[in-house]
Chains A and B, each alone.
Chain A
């Protein structure tokens, strides 16, 4: 009997020890070996970023020229004022615009500069005196009697970051400085709307984050036309010659790009990298048959058929792009001898002066008529040299529009200086930088927050160290960008926002994040049951046996006692 008890006890001990090993060693080992590697992500900071509070600061300097302030007003100047404007866009996005306005009187050199005969020359000499940093503005207030501006013009906006504002007469404005400032404030605000960021631009830049109901039709057309912010763009210039037998077309594209396009792209270098290439396509037809208009003795393309021109040509264009950057195509079409001259007509059947059209987010096409270069007795093929200045003038204008330089009409009484040779005024660059920075910050925050949400929801995705590092660097760059925007350093803010976008895109689109690990529950059971059930059943049964024996023994002991 004692032997039997011994054996029984040994059996129970064996079963108990096996169960113990399985539970204490096996279960944690299985857990550790089947869990997915998930590096740590700064989830708290990401959730903070989901609630975006942006503050945009602009520095404005208002300089009073002689004759605009009375001596007693002048005593209180120089003066600094700060104005805040708050806007709540939706429940997680809020905007605050801060304008730091410094009022001062003009120095002697500035007075000399303002004594120039025309506004353009005054602008040039003012610029030589001092250069305003990126994002700031200087407004020179000139007296009503000044001859710089023509009669009906009150504000002149220069090519750099200066504006000339003509003030009303002393009597109308008021005698104290407060009255003067109160009179100036709405007018300066109007100038700021044109030269610096405006609420419509900034909310349009936030469109990735906030789905706004269509407000202004013009702003929607603008947002559809311009390319979204991207680290680089590819620009391709193509010359289409459908009739090489008649026309031997030469264009000095390299020189033209260096002279006319490169300055603009160099100026835009903080925003994105640009790569340019060019090609010539022979026997490329337009795909739409132009109609002959006998009243003008020319062939016409009306605006409805323009939409169908692009597709057949695009199939032939080819692309040199080795990256995934958006491509801008600029096509110069030289009509064949039988369909020359070719004019584009708008909706009102008027001839379009530039003879060009563009397509949002694609590029532009210009028709260059060459029938004027030769007479009817010419020997074919005729050598034709294209006037690149005219062509590039059109392409540059289209490039401006496609890159997002707004061209809405200025308010009445405003005179805007014509484009400089680079094609972009400094304040236009600033506007572009403001909206691109806000757009980058908005896009990067939505990318990071949706990535964090995705990784949280799907527990099976492996998060490698490099992804965690990209996410952390994106979060850091975003925080820095928001801080620099608050401080008013537009250049640094743009740089940080670009880094944030690059890092967040790299993290989101990392190839290792593909979740193919969707296992429905029945599949999970189907995998584990044949592995674990044969092992668990004897353990469970022996444990149950131990428990029932123990209970039986207790009952016997109870019975013995009684």
Chain B
């Protein structure tokens, strides 16, 4: 039906249904592997298998922040270079052809992780390294590595505590940087990391309770290391059955890897989550199902196209070369010359000995 002069209506009744099953319009994923060294191959494989599932289900690389603390695919000790396998018969190469690692090697630090979460990055950081979520984003955060009661070890030299993580999530909430957040952690005593959460709309899963260790799955005799951790192995198996249109919900995810398979007891926390976990689809976090609306109205444009005069572009004009090469150097803080303090103390000691003689040395020592 046409209204002659008025604007067409939107068919909200049909679209309202799919809008309100969840309140999000886009999906993000932050996948972090925190350990380095060849024998922690399984942590990189864990993270890459979750990365693979998330990409397969639709989240584009521009919405994934992948942080790998070490390079296993091109490690000197890898007998099959450019591959990272997740199954002992080398069935599944989770490294693939189009992996995009945003933070690699020594860039994976507690500071960078917290900066990505809270958004406090230096202005020169490119878009691919930022978490540009808004208040309608569902975020999946996956952490794996070595952990303990209340902390997670980064790079064998520093740790992030559960209090810091809870504070970071609270700062994300204050700035409305997420709509709902799913936090999965696969480390020893993983449940301690979500004990301190206090912001709304957080759901957390861990591979083991406090006091338990998460165990690895199987070693591969050709590669020589354990390839995956048990929890993530069964999680990957579960996710391989999910396709973008599937209706599996979170209650099935909680059942992944029971104690018989995992040896440790996986735990989850849903008290801060507003919706009932049974109504939350797996694809709400792992996939990226877009909401669409049919465009019902169009605007009638009758003006002819204006001719734009052809401009000749030159490279020199696009780059302010003269500005760049004649920049003044930045002001640095003044520091006294090196060794100044040492020299000063030597001078004082010399004067002291000159005045009082050597026998007073014993007053110092």
Residues of A within 8 A of B (CB): 207-208, 214, 217-218, 220-221, 224-225, 228, 252, 254-256, 258-260, 303, 306-308, 310-311, 314-315, 319, 321-322, 324, 326, 344, 346-347, 352-354, 356-362, 364, 366, 388-389, 392-394, 396-398, 400-401, 407, 409-410, 415-419, 421, 423, 446-447, 450, 454, 458, 508-511, 513-516, 518, 520
B132 adjacent to A324 (CB under 8 Å): yes
Query: Is B14's CB within 8 Å of the partner chain A?
Result: yes
Q: A252-B305, A259-B303, A260-B303 are in contact. Are A361 and B136 (CB under 8 A)?
A: yes
The 7 closest A-B pairs by CB, nearest first: A311-B58, A450-B174, A255-B305, A356-B295, A306-B292, A361-B25, A393-B298
Q: Of residues B111, B136, B174, B298, which shows the largest number of chain A Cβ atoms within 10 Å of its Cβ?
A: B298
Query: Is B249's CB within 8 Å of the partner chain A?
Result: no
B167 adjacent to A515 (CB under 8 Å): yes
Task: Pick the contact of A362: B26, B119, B120 (CB < 8 A).
Answer: B26
**Complex Cα spacing A401 to B307, Å:** 28
Stretch among B5-13, B82-90, B264-272, B324-332 lining the A interface? B5-13
Inside 8 A of B218's CB, which chain A residues have their CB? none
Query: Is B220's CB within 8 Å of the partner chain A?
Result: no
Task: Pick the contact of A514: B12, B115, B132, B245 (CB < 8 A).
Answer: B115
Q: Of residues B127, B288, B291, B307, which shows the largest number of chain A Cβ atoms within 10 Å of its Cβ?
A: B291
Inside 8 A of B14's CB, which chain A residues have their CB? 303, 346-347
Query: Is B348's CB within 8 Å of the partner chain A?
Result: no
B19 adjacent to A224 (CB under 8 Å): yes
Known pairs A258-B305, A450-B175. 4 more at Cβ < 8 A? A356-B294, A389-B305, A511-B115, A516-B114
A362 adjacent to B20 (CB under 8 Å): no
Task: Pick the contact of A393: B111, B120, B299 (CB < 8 A).
Answer: B299
Inside 8 A of B16's CB, which chain A residues have their CB? 217-218, 221
A358 adjacent to B301 (CB under 8 Å): no
Pick 30 A–B contacts, CB within 8 A, sort by A. A208-B176, A214-B20, A218-B16, A255-B307, A258-B305, A259-B303, A259-B305, A303-B292, A311-B58, A311-B288, A326-B134, A346-B14, A346-B294, A352-B295, A354-B298, A358-B292, A359-B291, A360-B25, A360-B291, A361-B136, A362-B26, A394-B295, A397-B299, A400-B299, A407-B10, A421-B301, A447-B175, A458-B167, A511-B122, A514-B118
A510 adjacent to B120 (CB under 8 Å): yes
Inside 8 A of B11's CB, which chain A residues have their CB? 346-347
B292 adjacent to A357 (CB under 8 Å): yes
Q: A311-B288, A315-B61 are in contact. Are A415 and B5 (CB under 8 A)?
A: yes
Range of interface residues on chain B? 35 or more
B293 adjacent to A255 (CB under 8 Å): no
Q: Which residue of A lies closest to B289 (CB)?
A: A307
Inside 8 A of A344's CB, which chain B residues have their CB? 294
Q: Which residue of A lies closest to B6 (CB)?
A: A416
Query: Is B224's CB within 8 Å of the partner chain A?
Result: no
**Complex Cα spacing A421 to B303, Å:** 8
Q: A221-B12, A516-B114 are in contact. Are A511 and B291 (CB under 8 A)?
A: no
Beta-carbon contacts under 8 Å, B234-250 to A:
244-245
Query: Is B308's CB within 8 Å of the partner chain A?
Result: yes
B111 adjacent to A516 (CB under 8 Å): yes
Q: Of residues B9, B16, B288, B305, which shows the largest number of chain A Cβ atoms within 10 Å of its Cβ?
A: B305
In the complex, how many angstroms separate the beta carbon of A300 from the nearest chain B beta carbon?
Answer: 13
Q: A259-B303, A347-B14, A409-B9 are in contact. Are A324 and B130 (CB under 8 A)?
A: yes
Q: Which residue of A lies closest to B291 (CB)?
A: A360
Q: Which residue of B lies closest to A446 (CB)?
A: B174
In the complex, how many angstroms separate the beta carbon of A345 from the nearest chain B beta carbon?
Answer: 9
Inside 8 A of B111's CB, which chain A residues have their CB? 514, 516
**Complex Cα spacing A268 to B124, Å:** 28
Q: Which residue of A lies closest to B109 (CB)?
A: A516
Q: Which residue of B lies closest to A305 (CB)?
A: B245
Query: Is B93's CB within 8 Å of the partner chain A?
Result: no
Q: Of residues B19, B174, B301, B305, which shows the largest number of chain A Cβ atoms within 10 Å of its Cβ?
A: B301
B306 adjacent to A258 (CB under 8 Å): yes
Task: Pick the contact of A308: B15, B62, B114, B244 (CB < 8 A).
Answer: B244
**Complex Cα spacing A417 to B10, Å:** 18
Query: Is B302's CB within 8 Å of the partner chain A?
Result: yes
Inside 8 A of B59's CB, which chain A residues have their CB? 311
B302 adjacent to A359 (CB under 8 Å): no
**Complex Cα spacing A260 to B306, Å:** 9
Inside 8 A of A353's CB, which chain B residues have their CB? 296, 298
Q: A319-B62, A450-B175, A509-B119 are in contact. Are A357 and B26 (CB under 8 A)?
A: no
In the complex, how many angstroms separate the beta carbon of A191 from the nearest chain B beta carbon?
Answer: 15
B175 adjacent to A508 (CB under 8 Å): yes
Inside 8 A of A514's CB, which chain B residues have their CB? 111, 114-115, 118, 120
Query: Is B338's CB within 8 Å of the partner chain A?
Result: no
Q: Of residues B59, B121, B292, B300, which shows the largest number of chain A Cβ atoms within 10 Å of its Cβ?
A: B292
**Complex Cα spacing A74 to B136, Å:** 54
Inside 8 A of A307's CB, which chain B residues have their CB? 289-292
Q: Which residue of A lies closest to B128 (CB)?
A: A319
A360 adjacent to B176 (CB under 8 Å): no
Query: Is B60's CB within 8 Å of the partner chain A?
Result: yes
Q: Which residue of B lies closest to A315 (CB)?
A: B60
Query: Is B23's CB within 8 Å of the partner chain A?
Result: yes
**Complex Cα spacing A258 to B23, Å:** 36
Inside 8 A of B176's CB, which chain A residues have their CB? 208
Query: Is B78's CB within 8 Å of the partner chain A?
Result: no
Inside 8 A of B171's CB, which chain A residues have their CB? 454
Inside 8 A of A321's CB, which chain B residues have their CB? 127
In the complex, how many angstroms separate the beta carbon of B169 from the nearest chain A beta carbon?
Answer: 13
**Complex Cα spacing A400 to B7, Å:** 12
Query: Is B161's CB within 8 Å of the partner chain A?
Result: yes
In the complex, how many angstroms separate the beta carbon of A124 from the nearest chain B beta carbon?
Answer: 15
B292 adjacent to A314 (CB under 8 Å): no
Interface string of B274-315 (1 = CB under 8 A from A): 000000000000001111111111111111111110000000
Inside 8 A of B118's CB, which chain A residues have their CB? 509, 514
A396 adjacent to B301 (CB under 8 Å): yes
Q: A423-B299, A509-B119 are in contact. Are A221 and B23 (CB under 8 A)?
A: no
Q: A303-B294, A364-B295 are in contact. Are A256 and B289 (CB under 8 A)?
A: no
**Complex Cα spacing A260 to B308, Å:** 13
Query: Is B110's CB within 8 Å of the partner chain A?
Result: yes
Q: Which residue of A lies closest to B16 (CB)?
A: A217
In the complex, how many angstroms separate the beta carbon of B107 from the nearest chain A beta carbon?
Answer: 15
Query: Is B164's CB within 8 Å of the partner chain A?
Result: yes
**Complex Cα spacing A400 to B300, Å:** 14
A254 adjacent to B308 (CB under 8 Å): yes
Query: Is B163's CB within 8 Å of the partner chain A?
Result: yes
A357 adjacent to B302 (CB under 8 Å): no
In the complex, how many angstroms separate the beta carbon of B274 from the nearest chain A beta carbon?
Answer: 10
Interface string of B209-245 (1 = CB under 8 A from A): 0000000000000000000000000000000000011
**Complex Cα spacing A310 to B25, Å:** 13
Inside 8 A of A357's CB, which chain B residues have their CB? 292-295
A389 adjacent to B301 (CB under 8 Å): yes
Inside 8 A of A315's CB, which chain B residues have their CB? 60-61
Inside 8 A of B297's CB, which chain A residues have their CB? 354, 397, 407
A224 adjacent to B23 (CB under 8 Å): yes
**Complex Cα spacing A359 to B12, Å:** 14
B295 adjacent to A311 (CB under 8 Å): no
Task: Pick the contact of A419: B15, B164, B299 (CB < 8 A).
Answer: B299
